[in-house]
Amino acid sequence: PLVDGELALYGIANNNTLNLNAELLGGGKKRKKKTYTTPKKIKHKRTKVKLAILKYYKVDESGKVTRLRRECPNATCGAGVFMAKHKDRQYCGKCHLTYVFQKDQQA
């Protein structure tokens, strides 16, 4: 309820309807949805190889275990970090150490 004397100075009485117009900041138009011209890039899916550890070791008939891949000699890698075997190099994926095999250029 209105208190007598406060809003009565402006000619406002009880049970009157007041219309208020207030300007708001940031009242811009809604943006149009963007249409893309190229399809989305397909992400690379890593293929899981079952029993992949068998590529790193070989067991003889006598039970002797031999390593098939070279371990990285870098001190930051430690034991158990094997180097990847490519046709022209050996590469450590942890410290990026690379050994490139040189072919003889004589023909």
pLDDT digits (tens, 9 = 90+) for 53-87: 888 899 999 999 998 888 999 989 888 899 999 99
Q: Can you tell me whether residue 82 is helix, strand or coil?
A: strand
What is the pLDDT, as a whole number, of residue 1?
53
**What is the reported pTM?**
0.47
- Spell out where the chain has E strands: 57-59, 65-67, 84-85, 89-91, 98-100
What is the pLDDT, as a whole number, of residue 107?
42
